[in-house]
Amino acid sequence: MRRLYLTPIASHLTEKMRILHTMLRVTDLEQSLQFYTEVLGMKLLRRNEYPEGEFTLAFVGYDDEASSAVIELTWNWQQDSYELGDAFGHVAIEVDDAYATCDEIKRRDGNVVREAGPKKHGTTVIAFIEDPDGYKIELIQKKT
């Protein structure tokens, strides 16, 4: 197999770069917004309707887009379902207490698919939840 080595982007360019958002396609925007805002406590930052393209974009996050990466929820009006595929892994969120966060998520009818506990081959406490479309969200307990 031939290896391809690329020269890294010059540091004067990368110091201005940052991750803006992760886009997830959703089948029921209102249900997804309820999950991300009411179960995970994010804020709806903006919502844009595109009638000519038959889609809606909603951006959710814990802080404004100018200072924090956010999640873009894309709802294509004519799409009933998606195949999640096996290439996408998960979104990760840092939490103070993964055990208490899982309890609160369950209290809010969220789906905890892996209870909080140390990760395999390590000591970091993690948990996994699923959003209404089946996307995995990892909760990583902040190290003290």
For the annotated catalytic residues, the residue numbers are 138
- Helix-, strand-, coil-residue percentages of the chain, each rounded to 5: 15, 35, 45
Judged by DSSP in three states, 83 sits in coil
Q: Are the C-beta atoms of residues 94 and 77 closer than 8 Å to each other?
A: no
Q: Are the C-beta atoms of residues 140 and 126 closer than 8 Å to each other?
A: yes
Among the listed residues 90, 82, 59, the one whose alpha carbon sits nearest the alpha carbon of residue 72: 59
Q: How far apart are CA 67 and CA 19, in angstroms?
A: 10
